[in-house]
Amino acid sequence: MATFSVRTPAKINLGLRILGHESKRHLLDTVLYAIPLYDHLTFTLIPPSNALVSMALTALTSETVSVSAERPSLTRSAVEISTTGPFGYLTPTDDTNVVSKILAKYSDCNWQVQIDKQIPVAAGLAGGTADAAAAILALLEYEFVNEREAIEIAETEGSDLAFCYQALRHGLPYAALGTHFGEVLQQISTELQ
């Protein structure tokens, strides 16, 4: 089983202006800034059962073994989430969790995800969205998506998700001007002059 760990920064809005509505969503201009308050996530990818059989047979023999087994038909992947940390008890661990939604929608494997929840829940700090960005990064790490597809997912799945994904990719300090629904980003300097 492969494991991938990442820490995801919270974000604050330094300014927010609502310009109108489109498709029942706010059109806005906002200045987003990633802050050093992190959730820690560990993703464990659980391969399909036939892959485990194949790996076990290959390990037992020095010759190449061909195993013919049909891959189980999955309508969606199973995602098991467990939480710790001061806000873990407030974090859903079922399929309503945004991490679960992202992994189930864009992969066909089973996952175990451990979330050490340090970012307060429902505080406007994008804690859940930052965790969803980590799930997109896990999809990229395990090659379910390429970089272009990861960016497209981040831009379409949530308003702050594109920012949270870019903050993960760039590291701190990271700031951007967000327009449209917040998914159109222009990185801005974090240098004080």
Assess whether 131 carries a catalytic annotation.
Answer: no
Assess whether 116 carries a catalytic annotation.
Answer: no
Catalytically annotated residue among 11, 39, 116, 117: 11
As a whole number of angstroms, the distance between CA 113 and CA 23 comes to 33
Tell me the CA distances in angstroms from 91 to 96, 135, 148, 161, one per residue in order: 10, 15, 29, 18
As a whole number of angstroms, the distance between CA 31 and CA 16 comes to 7
Catalytically annotated residue among 39, 116, 131, 160: 160
The pair of structure tokens assigned to 179 is 């327009």
Cβ proximity of 86 and 118 under 8 Å? yes
Residues involved in catalysis: 11, 160
